[in-house]
Amino acid sequence: MRGSQRGDTIIEVLFAITVFSIIAVAGLSLMNQGTATVQRALEISHVRNQIDAQADGLRYIHDSYVNSLSTGAAGGDHLWMELTKATRLSANASGFDSMTSWQVCGGPTPFVASKVFVLNLSQLDGALGVALIPDFQPAVTYARVRDDLATVQSDGLWIEVVKGVSRAATTPAYYDFHIRACWDVPGQSVPMTLGTIVRLYEP
pLDDT digits (tens, 9 = 90+) for 114-157: 788 888 888 887 666 667 777 678 888 889 888 777 778 888 89
Domain extent for 135: 2-201
Confidence of residue 76 (pLDDT cuts 50, 70, 90): low
The predicted pLDDT at position 29 comes to 78
For 81-125, the pLDDT digits (tens) are 888 888 888 888 777 766 665 566 777 777 777 788 888 888 887
Lowest mean pLDDT among 31-40, 42-51, 172-181, 185-194: 31-40
Confidence of residue 70 (pLDDT cuts 50, 70, 90): confident
The most confident of 14-18, 148-152, 185-189, by mean pLDDT: 14-18
The pTM assigned to this predicted structure is: 0.78
User: What's the total number of domains in the chain?
Assistant: 1
Longest dimension (CA), the chain: 108
